[in-house]
């Protein structure tokens, strides 16, 4: 699946998503600043991935662990600081909602403070777990 948003390409094509570029994004996160490249490769292999590109550069990432039938866990949603506040995060969540292999219901994720981002897509809050 591929979506164009402003000058960004949003894609689930793992061939385009370099583990090192994902590591660079996650190194700046509060939940996975030390995740090894080997673990990142494994997570990419075993997830549906969403990469957002500005030209050739990976500027945002997310992944979804799912049985492709009734359940999905959204994880590692991150936008490069320089590209935040431009709607990229919302486009990632919309891409996940529209993805044919991701069930629309029983989606879960954990977040510290981005509840407002997900509420508009039908998620509700229970402590730091969001679900729909």
Nearer of residues 44 and 74 to ligand COA, judged by Cβ = 74
Q: How far is the CB of 14 from ligand COA (least distance, A)?
A: 20
Of 35-74, binders to ligand COA (CB under 6 A) are: none
Q: Which is nearer to ligand COA, 15 or 55 (CB)?
A: 55
Q: Which of 7, 85, 126, 127 binds ligand COA (CB under 6 A)?
A: 85
C-beta contacts of 9-14 below 8 A and 24+ residues apart? 9/52, 9/53, 10/50, 10/51, 10/52, 10/53, 10/91, 10/92, 10/95, 11/50, 11/51, 11/53, 12/48, 12/49, 12/50, 12/51, 12/95, 12/99, 13/51, 14/44, 14/45, 14/49
Kindly write out the interface string for residues 3-32 of this chain, putting x where it contacts ligand COA by CB under 6 A and - elsewhere: --------------------------x---
Note the residues at the interface with ligand COA (CB under 6 A): 29, 77-79, 84-90, 109, 111, 113-114, 116-117
């Amino acid at each position: 699946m591929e979506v164009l948003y402003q000058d960004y390409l949003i894609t689930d094509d793992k061939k385009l998503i370099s583990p090192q570029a994902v590591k660079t994004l996650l190194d700046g996160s509060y939940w996975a600043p030390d995740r090894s490249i080997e673990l990142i490769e494994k997570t990419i292999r075993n997830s549906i991935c969403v990469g957002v590109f500005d030209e050739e550069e990976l500027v945002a990432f997310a992944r979804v662990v799912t049985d492709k039938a009734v359940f999905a866990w959204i994880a590692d949603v991150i936008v490069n600081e320089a590209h935040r506040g431009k709607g990229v995060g919302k486009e990632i969540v919309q891409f996940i909602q529209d993805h044919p292999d991701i069930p629309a219901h029983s989606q879960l994720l954990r977040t510290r403070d981005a509840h407002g981002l997900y509420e508009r897509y039908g998620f509700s809050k229970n402590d730091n777990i969001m679900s729909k």
